[in-house]
Structure formats: C-alpha cells, structure tokens
C-alpha cells in the first residue's frame, strides 16, 4: 500500500497554470528524486503534499498514521532557544512515552495488571523506536552533519543555511515515515553530504527529494520523477539511468512524430481531394472527408509531447592571453585567527592549464585561502606569487553589482564600453536573449547574476578563472550550460565547490583543506575519493597528513613491455585532448577573421586582432607538432 498517493493534482496562480494532472505514488522504503527546471512547480508540489497549499484539482492522500517531515518548513523558536534544544524536540514523542511509563511504574507498584499490560506494550514500542539510544543517535547525527560545535549557540543568531542544516538533523532524529527534502545538500559540505547519503541508504521510510545535485541523486535515489510541461513523468533508476532513458525516449518520440506528420499529410491531401469531389453533389464524399478529418485529429492527439529545450548556445569568451608556465607559487603559508590555526607551512603551485578543485569542510578555511590568494586578506607567514602574464577573473559565491537598477544590456555596455547592439551579441551565448536583456539586475535570480558577471568577466583576455561555489542554487539545465561554457575556456581554473559531479568533470588536481594543512592531490576527484578512506584513517590516528599518491610507482621488476603499454595508454588519452584544443583554436581564428572585417576602418583594433590571430595560429602550430610527435610514437 502506498504511503503517498498524488492523483490528478493541478494548481493555478491566477491565470497561470503551474501544475496539471500530476499523478504518482510513493511506496514505503522508496527514495525518489523530483527534478525539473527552476519555476516548473517542484516546490509548489511539495507545499501541496505537506498541506501548506490546497490543490485546485485532484487529491493527495498520505497514510493516516504516517509521520511526515518537511525540510523547507523551518519553525520559529523563542529567544534563548539553543541548537541542542531544537534537536531534542525530535525526541518529544519518546519523552512523552517515557513520562507515561514512569506513571505506569507507580501503578504497577500497587499491583495494577492493566498498567502492567500497557507498560509492556509501551516499553516495546519505546525500545523499537530508539528510546534507549537517544543520546547516541543525537551524537551521531550532530557529528555527521557537522553540528556538534554549534550545540550551545542560540537559534535566532544562526544563518538561514545553518538553520536548514539543523532542521535536517532534527528531522532525521524524529524518525519520520515520509521525508520531503527540498535541496538538502545546498548547505552541506562533501563530508556531510556523504553522511546523509549513507543515512538515506538505510532509512526505512519513504523519501521524496528535490535536488539539482546530480552526484547525490545518483547515489541516493532509485526513481526519478521529472516535472515538465505542468505535469510529471516517472523514470526507473537513478539520475544517470534517467538521462539514458530520456535520450532514448526523445529519439523514439521524434521518429514517431515524423511518421505521424507523414501520415497526417497524406490524409490531409486525400481529404482535400474528396472535398473537391464533394462539390459535385455527392453526400457520400462529404461524409468520407469528415471521417478522414476526424481520423487526423485522433492521430494528432496520440502524438508524443517533446518539450523544446531551446538552442544549445555556447558561451564565447574574449581572447585568452597566454600566461607563463608557472601560474601560482605558494611557499610557507600560514594563517590563524586567535588561537585557531587554519593552515600552516603550506606549499602549493599551479601550472598553466591546471584545473584545481578546492574542497574542505564548512569553516575549514577555503574562503580564507581564496582571499589570501586574491590579496584581499593578509597571511601571517609565507609568500604568494602569481606568475608572469597572469590575468585573473574571480566569480564569488554571492554576486552583486554596483548599479543594481540598470538593465542587463546597459550593464554590459557600460562595463565593456561597447554599443547596445554589440552588448546584445555578447549576451546571447550567455542565455540572455530577447526581452531578458531589458530586465533590471535587481530582479535577476542568484544564478542569473552569476551568469551575467561571468559574461562580463570573460571578455577581457582572462587566463585564470577562480570560481567560488558556481553551481549553488542553479538548476540542472543551468549547471549543464555553465559546464558547456567552461569547456570553451582555454585557461587555468581554480574551483571551490561541494558539487562532486562538477568537480569530477573539471578538476585535474584536488586541494583539500583539513587538519591545519592542505593536501595537494595530483589527480581528479574520482581518484581522490578512492584514497579518501585512507585519509580519514590517518586523521583518526592523529598521524601527520601525507600526500597520497595518485598511482603507485611502477615496480623495478616490471617488464619493458608493461612499461611501454602504460606509456602508450597515456599518449592515446592525450590525443583527443589536443584535438579538442586545436578545434577550439581554429574556431577562434574564424571568429577573428569575422572581427577583422568589422574593424577594417579601425587601424588600432585591426592591429590588435592581427596580433591575436598570429598568436592563435602559433598555438595551433605548436599543438599540431605535439600531435604529430604523439602519432609517430604510437605508430612505432
């Protein structure tokens, strides 16, 4: 029997339809991900299920005895309420049971048999609900979600993100039967997110999760419900399985639509001919034409719906100036606040074209490190040295603009000193098109502001891009757009992120801030995860942090043939990377040729473009020589 049934639910706000004919069920023990673009109605659906909103059509049924927990409903508490007091609210039902058991114990002392029977049943329920393990459970959850240091803090002084994290912990401790989680990983670091994944894997109740965290969805859910075109469609499996099924569905639907279009065209031509003959006075012909037209309507009604996603535009960046091989050097870096040392004796470096993922627990010092590298905060000891020719662009987690009341197009025109028409050309590939360019900046979402800032930053010859939590609050489509944009960036990246999917796609090096130091791991996030368990064991034993090896050194006794095989594999992996870079540079040369035509009367701009074209051709020649050398070695 389902714990949750949603039947034909619809919701309108004024004349705007948000949801229509939404139908699905949730069985006990199921973990289901609810996905869709921002604004499609996911949170509205949550509010209808939780009873905060009333549905205009349809019904929602939850098993009467089920206890429901909703993450986005954060309660208010009186002044002076501490975090520990909030968490202990989760045990109210158990505390009431314990109080009743104490009352029954007094009656049992007087020989009351009914009290004995009630006590026996109540004690069994109390034990099975974890009544004797509340302190252990509180400690486990507080440690897992990194709340232990906050237990004595007052609720009213916490940030919104901290309150959300504590509310999640309270819900976990409450032992509910149905969880409704709205973006549960938004305010969690990687370690806390992994703890939540482990918890959900053993949770006996049902879970419905709104999330844009693709890695979390892959590890946590067994079914995907997609909200699209005002309704929902269910897909079995995790997020990766959903992607494969959706792609196959679209291909099949497009093929079916092509057949339907061909068939309806034939029938429409037949109906026209019969209508023409019917003018000669044949009633039978009229009925035949009407029958064919009704058949066309029935065929069209069965056609699959494919939601148009719009053009897959790619962001175009201004020319990337070449930096030196040594981009950043950090030696002997130390930073403390009072008695607390965030990190000391830090030695780091970034080379040209490196893509570094900076990770660590909340409060570990990631933002402090960024501010030191950017010169916004002084270090206690050590030297930070940026290399020759480095030009940095920094995209902070929370973007603001000096002139919030100007339009998007005016902001770009002013910042880049270009005409409105040129500003619109620049904005197009960054998904600002049509009327969007005339929106005031203060009406944009956080994700849109980040996209606008990135658009402006990337027109100035930047070769080092530093991003602080760039995917926070972006829906999946916007995250994919950002990833497509960054794939076009031919420079050095430093990424601060808890988005493991994003890190795995881009990071070729991991910096992990932890235990008073920074681990510099030469490899991607997936490789880093393989060794993370060993790092945890190192921390637990209080042993000094050691640099984990990406791969073990080849044994001396390894056969020459094995060594050649490893070298060949490495060269083969390098070929498509070089080919992709050559392709991007050749496309950029074509762009420069178009700009040369536009700048024919501006000798200064013309000279700059010719120099840029020459530099780009030189880089293509270098990559071609490298490609030819690799192909010769592979052909040996």
Per-residue pLDDT tens for 166-184?
Answer: 989 998 998 899 999 999 9
Mention every residue, 6+ apart, whose C-beta is less than 8 A from residue 118: 104
Is residue 294 a contact partner of residue 238, using CB atoms and an 8 Å limit? no
Structure confidence at residue 310 as a pLDDT band (50, 70, 90): very low
Tell me, yes or no, whether 313 lies in a domain: no
pLDDT score, position 334:
93
Q: Distance of CA 204 to CAs 37, 140, 207, 210, 216, Å? A: 29, 18, 9, 19, 19
Kindly state the tokens that stand for 493: 């990246």
Nearest to 358, CA basis, from 469, 247, 439, 441: 469
Q: Within this chain, do residues 210 and 170 fall inside the same structural domain, yes or no? A: yes
Tell me, yes or no, whether 29 lies in a domain: no
Maximal C-alpha separation, the chain = 106
Residues β-bridged to residue 5: 25, 61
Tell me, yes or no, whether 599 lies in a domain: yes
Q: Within this chain, do residues 259 and 238 fall inside the same structural domain, yes or no? A: no
Q: Within this chain, do residues 442 and 525 fall inside the same structural domain, yes or no? A: yes
Angle at which helix 560-598 crosses helix 603-634, to 10 degrees, equals 160
* Domain end residue (candidates: 512, 540, 568): 540
Q: Within this chain, do residues 349 and 452 fall inside the same structural domain, yes or no? A: yes
Mean pLDDT estimate for the chain: 83
Q: Within this chain, do residues 147 and 217 fall inside the same structural domain, yes or no? A: yes
Q: Which of 110-119, 318-327, 356-365, 600-609 has the lowest mean pLDDT?
A: 600-609
Tell me, yes or no, whether 406 lies in a domain: yes
Q: Within this chain, do residues 183 and 200 fall inside the same structural domain, yes or no? A: yes
Q: pLDDT tens digits, residue range 15-48?
A: 999 999 999 999 999 999 999 988 889 999 999 9
Q: Within this chain, do residues 214 and 340 fall inside the same structural domain, yes or no? A: no
pLDDT score, position 550:
45
Tell me, yes or no, whether 26 lies in a domain: no
Tell me, yes or no, whether 430 lies in a domain: yes
φ/ψ of 168, rounded to 5, equals -65, -45
Angstrom distance (rounded) from CA 395 to CA 465: 8
Residue 615 domain boundaries:
560-634
Tell me, yes or no, whether 483 lies in a domain: yes
Angstrom distance (rounded) from CA 507 to CA 501: 10
Q: Within this chain, do residues 50 and 116 fall inside the same structural domain, yes or no? A: yes
Which is higher by pLDDT, 434 or 286? 434
Q: pLDDT tens digits, residue range 396-455?
A: 988 889 888 899 999 999 999 999 999 998 898 888 888 889 999 999 888 888 889 988
Q: Within this chain, do residues 182 and 262 fall inside the same structural domain, yes or no? A: no
pLDDT score, position 44:
93
Kindly state the tokens that stand for 380: 């206690």
DSSP designation for 406: S
Which is higher by pLDDT, 560 or 606? 606
Rounded average pLDDT over 248-265: 83
* Domain end residue (candidates: 202, 223, 242): 242
Highest mean pLDDT, choosing among 226-235, 288-297, 425-434: 226-235
Tell me, yes or no, whether 83 lies in a domain: yes
Q: Distance of CA 557 to CAs 126, 268, 553, Å? A: 63, 77, 11
Q: Within this chain, do residues 169 and 238 fall inside the same structural domain, yes or no? A: yes
Residue 385 sits in a domain of what CATH number? 3.40.50.300
Q: Within this chain, do residues 276 and 199 fall inside the same structural domain, yes or no? A: no
* Number of domains, the chain: 4
Cβ neighbours of 83 (radius 10 Å): 26
* Domain end residue (candidates: 219, 242, 265): 242
Q: Using the predicted structure, report yes or no on whether residue 311 has a pLDDT greater than 60.
A: no
Mention every residue, 6+ apart, whose C-beta is less than 8 A from residue 378: 372
Q: Within this chain, do residues 270 and 369 fall inside the same structural domain, yes or no? A: no
CA 46, 49, 55 angle in degrees (round to 5)? 100
Mention every residue, 6+ apart, whose C-beta is less than 8 A from residue 536: none
Angstrom distance (rounded) from CA 147 to CA 188: 11
């Amino acid at each position: 029997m389902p714990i949750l049934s949603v039947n034909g639910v619809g919701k309108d706000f004024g004349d705007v339809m948000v949801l229509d004919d939404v139908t699905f069920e949730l069985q006990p023990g199921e973990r289901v991900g609810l996905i869709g673009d921002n604004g499609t109605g996911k949170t509205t659906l949550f509010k209808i299920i939780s009873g905060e909103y009333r549905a205009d059509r349809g019904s929602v049924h939850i098993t009467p005895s089920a206890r429901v927990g909703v993450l986005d409903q954060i309660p208010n508490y009186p002044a002076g309420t501490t975090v520990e007091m909030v968490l202990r609210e989760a045990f109210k039902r158990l505390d009431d049971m314990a109080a009743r058991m104490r009352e029954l114990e007094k009656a049992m002392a007087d020989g009351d048999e009914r009290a004995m029977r009630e006590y026996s049943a109540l004690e069994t329920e109390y034990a099975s609900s974890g009544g004797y393990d509340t302190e252990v459970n509180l400690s486990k959850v507080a440690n897992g979600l990194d709340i232990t240091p906050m237990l004595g803090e007052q609720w009213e002084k916490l940030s919104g993100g901290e309150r959300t994290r504590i509310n999640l912990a309270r819900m976990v401790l409450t032992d509910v039967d149905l969880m409704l989680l709205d973006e549960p990983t938004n305010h969690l670091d990687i370690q806390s997110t992994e703890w939540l994944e482990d918890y959900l894997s053993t949770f006996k109740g049902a879970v419905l999760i709104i999330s844009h965290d693709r890695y979390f969805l892959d590890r946590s859910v067994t079914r995907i419900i997609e909200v699209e075109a005002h309704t929902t469609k269910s897909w079995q499996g995790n997020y990766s399985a959903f992607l494969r099924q959706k792609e196959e569905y679209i291909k099949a639907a497009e093929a079916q639509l092509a057949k339907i279009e061909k068939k309806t065209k034939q029938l429409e031509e037949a109906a026209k001919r019969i209508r023409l003959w019917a003018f000669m006075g044949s009633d039978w012909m009229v009925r035949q034409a009407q029958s064919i037209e009704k058949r066309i309507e029935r065929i069209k009604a069965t056609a699959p719906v494919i939601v148009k996603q719009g053009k897959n535009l790619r962001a175009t960046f201004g020319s990337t100036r070449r930096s030196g091989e040594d981009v950043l050097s950090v030696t002997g870096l130390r930073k403390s606040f009072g008695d607390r040392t965030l990190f000391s004796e830090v030695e780091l470096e970034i080379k040209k074209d490196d893509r570094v993922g900076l990770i660590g627990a909340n409060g570990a010092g990631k933002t402090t490190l960024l501010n030191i590298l950017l010169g916004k905060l002084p270090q206690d000891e050590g030297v930070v040295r940026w290399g020759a020719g480095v030009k940095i662009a920094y995209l902070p987690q929370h973007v603001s603009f000096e002139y919030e009341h100007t339009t998007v197009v005016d902001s770009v025109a002013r910042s880049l000193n270009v005409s409105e028409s040129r500003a619109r050309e620049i904005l197009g590939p960054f998904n600002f098109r049509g009327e969007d360019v005339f929106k005031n900046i203060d009406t944009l979402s956080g994700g849109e502001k980040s996209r606008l800032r990135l658009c402006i930053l990337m027109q100035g010859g930047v070769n080092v891009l530093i991003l602080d939590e760039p995917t926070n609050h972006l829906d999946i489509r916007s995250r994919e757009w950002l990833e497509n944009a960054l794939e076009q960036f031919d420079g050095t990246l430093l990424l601060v992120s808890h988005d493991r999917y994003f890190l795995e796609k881009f990071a070729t090096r991991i910096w992990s801030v932890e235990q008073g130091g920074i681990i510099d791991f030469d490899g991607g996030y997936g490789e880093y995860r393989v060794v993370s368990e060993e790092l945890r064991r190192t921390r637990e034993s209080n042993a000094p942090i050691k640099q984990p090896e990406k791969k073990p050194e080849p044994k001396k006794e390894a056969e020459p043939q094995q060594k050649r095989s490893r070298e060949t594999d490495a060269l083969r992996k390098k070929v498509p990377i070089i080919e992709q870079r050559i392709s991007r540079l050749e496309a950029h040369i074509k762009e420069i040729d178009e700009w040369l035509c536009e700048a024919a009367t501006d000798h200064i701009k013309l000279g700059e473009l010719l120099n840029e074209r020459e530099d780009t051709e030189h880089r293509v020649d270098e990559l071609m020589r490298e490609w030819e050398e690799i192909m010769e070695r592979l052909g040996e």
